Amino acid sequence: MEHREEKVKVAKSIRPVPAGKINELVERGQYGSGKINGKEFPAYRDEDGVDPGSKTETFVAMKPAPGALWKRIN
C-alpha cells in the first residue's frame, strides 16, 4: 500500500476531540530560542518574516481521547 494511502487511513481513523476536553487533551505551543551544538537559534516569533504577535503553533501534541483503543497497543 502506498504511503499516502496509509496517511489517509490514519487521518480518517482519528475521532473528533470533545469540545469540552480540548484543553485537557491537547498541548500546543511555539519553539523558543535556544542553542544546538553551541549555535544560537531564535524563537519562532523572532524569525525573519514572522509576525511578532503570531499565535501559530509550531508544536502540537494530543493525548488519546477517552474511549480510544490505545490500551490494546503495546
At 12-54, the pLDDT tens digits run 887 777 888 888 888 999 999 999 999 999 999 999 999 999 9
Q: Is the pLDDT of residue 8 over 60?
A: yes
Domain residue ranges in the chain: 25-62
CA distance 20 to 61: 17
27 in Cβ contact with 60 (< 8 Å): yes
Residue-level pLDDT at 40: 98
Residue-level pLDDT at 17: 78
Higher pLDDT, 46 or 1: 46
CA distance 39 to 29: 22
Name the nearest CA neighbour of 28 among 48, 49, 65, 55. 55
Q: Is the pLDDT of residue 2 over 70?
A: yes
CA distance 74 to 59: 25
